[in-house]
Chains A and B, each alone.
Chain A
Amino acid sequence: MVLAPLVVLVPILAATLLAAASPFAQRGAGLVAVAAALGAAVLTALVLGSSGERGVTWFSGWHPRGGAAIGIDFAPGRIGAGLALFVAVLAVVALIAASRLITVKSLAFDALVLIFVAAMLGFAYSGDLFNLFVFFELMSVTAYVLVGYEVGQRVSLEGSLTFAITNSVGSFLLLFGIGLLYGSSGALNLAQIGRALEHGPVDTAVVVAFALIASGLLVKAAVVPFHLWTADAYAVAPTPVCILLAGAFSELGLFGLFRIYWTAFHGVLGPDDDALRVVLVTAGCLTGVLGAVMCALQHHLKRMLAFATIAQVGLFLLGLALLTADGVAGAAVWVVGDGLVKAALFVIVAIVQHRYDRVTEGALHGRARGLWPLGLLFALGALTIASLPPTGSFLGRSLVEDAALKEPGYAWVPALMALVTALVAGTLLRAGARVFAGWGAPAGDDPLATDDDDETEDERGAPPRSRFILWALATVLLAAAVGWGVVPGLIEAAGRAAGEFTGTQAYAAAVLDGAHRAIAVPELKSPSATGYLYAAASVAGALAVAGAGLAGVGGRMPRGVIAARERLRGLHNGHPTDYVAWLAAGAAVLCGCLALVLQ
């Protein structure tokens, strides 16, 4: 396996060489970045194709001796390799979009995107806890800069600063957790940690280590109450960066958490899975519901998409938190389907924003009538989020539903997921109908998205070049999102990959002993009638929510509801100090809950 290291090294080399060339060359060099991202995509595809025998690559060739690791390994497995391929594809999309959307683009932007991508790819591949942290930090630092890239305006800098402060606190928590875990296991390799802890007691050090690692990664994943930074960052980030953040960055946080759980903690915490499941599923529910409600309250299209992302992350967390291979398979399929749709929606919003120099529902009301084909695409995207069959989102969601129904006591999960997706998709449909058709009552006021924001929007001033490529991108992304649900053999492949992902013993044997062990592959079924029913409920609910929003139903709410709404908005006030307070409280509560239920 010489390919896995190249997946990370190719974008890194391209980025550094681009940066070295930046004082001399400006034109045409952007193509180099796209070429490097394409190269990484091809390499990730090859790695995915050859990861059947659990490809493990040891850097500098230091193979473990007697079950003790010396060096760092890449052991992506099919889930990690698949996620990396998805990241690389999104990177290509983002760089192509950047060539049309960012008016003042320097090579530094391309270089930073490539390093950001390399870090995400390394994070998806690495089998070493500290190495995960290094890539985690690398993607954070580049993301801070990229979010604030269009720095001409004050809001960009504020969003970037909020992002940097909250995520740095998350990194501290993660680092403390890693330190504790190294202290109690004497190892940094995930497989070796798993083996060291396996037969030991569930002591406070292990539980606290897990809680802190989870807190750090859930900040990245934007799970309640660690999600507060997200909308502020997305609202100001250039669209290509949003595509990567919404499609892959949050999801990588979840991936990291569950990869660490299944490789390092499952052995010791496995007997307490029931208790752990309750805590994680609760977090997923809170995130899904709060994200959906906040999404419905937004009028700023990018903030709306940010909260839609948070809601979706909550749903992915629900699937993964079931702690079964079935749940992992469903979430994996869903993440890809949804990431493609969100990328398409961000591109569509960017096109509108460029044309009309506005990005709120109210300011754009009916203005984009001329772009009605784009409106149809936007509506299709919204319905995909409501998991319209046969899209990839539908397939993923029905797999998660099946997984939830298999677990006693979680039969209510599918209904909750239908509710959340209906609310999110309905909100997007409402916004789309207002913007592209001018239907319904004008949007109410939204104190967090005034017209001032519009004036200071980042991508102001349409670039002189044709937007054909952007239209094509949106169309292709949506087609891919729909087609993802009907890829032949996808269910079986996802099942195999998930079985491998959750096979703690087989993973340790492959990494530490170079031995092959059989894994338990879950039996997954194509969507059943129940799945179609829930999807129909979601779509109907979405239409109802959209209709209610357009009819202005929310206009005369009781005073209590309005007060609650204002309170909720007040929580997302853009003050990093408040966010850090919530973050600390969340980490403390998570530590407390886990310590209570696991001991």
Chain B
Amino acid sequence: MSGRARLAMVALAGVALAVVLVVAVIDLPRPDAPPPRSAKLSTSVALHERHVTNIVAGITFDLRGLDTLGEELILFAAAVGVSVLLRAQREDSTMQDAADAAEQRRAQVPASARALGAALAGPIIVFGAYIVAHGQLTPGGGFQGGVILAAALLLVYVAGQVLALPTDSPVDLVEVTEALAAAAYGLVAVGGLIFASAAMTNFVALGVTGHLLSGGTILILEVAVGIEVASALTLILAELLDQALLRST
């Protein structure tokens, strides 16, 4: 297909799809219509029966906990996939080249940037951990906190530290952590089956609504997901940055 024909086809199809979508959305209930019954039920169940004040966490980690397990595994599979696909293309010897390239880069980074990176990394890690641990109380949780934790790593990179890990072991450690955190979610789901009535049912004390130790398994899942997301993103970033460093040599 020629470029122009393709463009015409996509444009036509896109316009047609956009028109139908707009017409369809006009048919939907107005935004100020009363919320559907399932939505109202979910809110009250999360608050009163799951003892969480962050309703989103109640829904994502309990009422729809299976979805979240699937989403966590999507990230897990993506991280494993990135390392499988990228690592297979690299020879062992080139790892050393990447490390050397990182060393050279480091020398070029201004001292101020390095100081800033070093100064911010610590607070960001604390902030990420806070967001993870308070997921059942305030907006945030495992996914958001995990991303923040992984951002600390990016800062380290900006500050010019060695990222192309010269030996395999630290990456292995991240991989193992990631896999174990993903397994932890599955184990909590099975735990519900063993210690309570159904898979994924809460089986630890719910605690007092509003306290740090409340929400039962939700807190455990938040922490597991936080670790999983942080290590998965670290893995993906590390692999992609290694690749980028190799390109630049």
**Chain A residues close to B by CB (< 8 Å):** 2, 5-6, 9, 12-13, 16-17, 19-20, 22-23, 57-62, 65-66, 68-72, 104, 106, 108-109, 111-112, 115, 118-119, 122, 130-131, 134-135, 137-138, 141-142, 144-145, 148-149, 151-152, 157, 160, 176, 180, 183-189, 192, 203-205, 207-209, 211, 570, 573, 575, 577-578, 580-582, 584-585, 587-588, 591-592, 595
Contact = CB atoms under 8 A, between A and B. Distances in A.
Given A62-B45, A584-B10, A134 B67 contact: yes
26 contacts: A5-B200, A13-B187, A17-B179, A17-B183, A19-B76, A19-B179, A57-B199, A69-B38, A70-B42, A108-B84, A111-B80, A111-B179, A130-B64, A134-B66, A141-B78, A149-B84, A180-B28, A187-B38, A575-B1, A581-B6, A581-B9, A581-B10, A581-B13, A588-B16, A592-B20, A595-B20
Contact of A20 (B6, B73, B176, B196): B176
Nearest to B68: A134
Contacts of B180: 16, 20
Contacts of A17: 179, 183
A118 B182 CA distance: 14
B165 to A, nearest CB: 13
B186 to A, nearest CB: 5
B198 interface: yes
A70 B38 contact: yes
Contact of A12 (B25, B42, B45, B186): B186
Contacts of B41: 65, 68, 70
Contacts of A13: 183, 186-187, 190
Main SS of the interface on chain B?
Answer: helix
Interface in B17-31: 17, 20-21, 23-29
A59 B199 contact: yes
Given A2-B193, A134-B70, A138-B73, A151 B29 contact: no
Given A19-B179, A186-B39, A112 B77 contact: yes
Contacts of B26: 204
Given A130-B67, A588-B17, A138 B24 contact: no
A9 B189 contact: yes
A556 to B, nearest CB: 29
Interface string B59-71: 0001111110111
A72 B175 contact: no
B48 interface: no
A119 B192 CA distance: 20
Interface residues of B, number: 69
B6 A6 contact: no
B104 interface: no
B200 A70 contact: no
Contacts of B66: 59, 72, 122, 131, 134
B85 interface: yes
A9 B12 contact: no
B219 to A, nearest CB: 15
Nearest to B33: A186
A75 to B, nearest CB: 13
B92 to A, nearest CB: 14
B53 interface: no
B199 A106 contact: no
A9 to B, nearest CB: 5
Instruction: With a 10 A CB-CB cut-off, give which of A137, A208, A582 has the most chain B CB atoms.
Output: A208
B243 interface: no
A157 B85 CA distance: 9
Contact of B186 (A16, A149, A582): A16
A23 B167 CA distance: 13
B110 interface: no
B197 interface: yes
B179 to A, nearest CB: 4
B208 interface: no
B136 interface: no
A359 B39 CA distance: 55
A68 B37 contact: yes
Nearest to B49: A62
A138 B80 contact: no
A187 B36 contact: yes
Contact of B10 (A19, A134, A580): A580
B202 A60 contact: yes
B198 A57 contact: yes
Contacts of A575: 1
Nearest to B69: A12
Given A68-B38, A141-B81, A581-B9, A60 B175 contact: no
Nearest to A186: B36
A138 B77 contact: yes
Nearest to B85: A151
Given A130-B67, A131-B67, 14 more contacts: A2-B198, A9-B190, A19-B179, A60-B198, A61-B196, A70-B63, A108-B84, A148-B85, A160-B85, A184-B28, A186-B38, A187-B36, A581-B10, A587-B13
B236 to A, nearest CB: 13
Interface of B: 1, 6, 9-10, 12-14, 16-17, 20-21, 23-29, 35-39, 41-42, 45, 62-67, 69-71, 73-74, 76-78, 80-81, 83-85, 88-89, 168, 172, 175-176, 178-180, 182-183, 186-187, 189-190, 192-193, 196-202
A156 to B, nearest CB: 9
Given A9-B186, A145-B80, A61 B17 contact: no
Contacts of B37: 66, 68, 186
Nearest to B16: A588
Contacts of A204: 20, 23-24, 26-27
A60 to B, nearest CB: 5
A13 B189 CA distance: 10
B74 A141 contact: yes
A133 to B, nearest CB: 9
B17 A59 contact: no
Nearest to B34: A186
A149 to B, nearest CB: 7
Nearest to A148: B85
Nearest to B75: A141
B179 A16 contact: yes
B59 to A, nearest CB: 9
Given A71-B63, A205-B27, A138 B10 contact: no
Nearest to A208: B24
Nearest to B42: A70
Contacts of B1: 570, 573, 575, 578, 581
B76 A16 contact: yes
Contacts of A160: 85
A142 B76 CA distance: 10
B79 to A, nearest CB: 10
A180 B13 contact: no
B81 A112 contact: yes
A193 B31 CA distance: 19
A184 B85 CA distance: 41
Given A22-B175, A59-B65, A581-B6, A5 B77 contact: no
Nearest to B88: A151
Given A145-B84, A578-B6, A591-B16, A72 B67 contact: yes
B13 A112 contact: no
A180 B25 contact: yes
Nearest to A66: B37
Contacts of A112: 77, 80-81, 84
A183 B29 contact: yes
Given A9-B186, A157-B85, A595-B20, A2 B199 contact: yes
Contacts of B42: 70
Given A16-B179, A16-B183, A581-B6, A6 B193 contact: yes
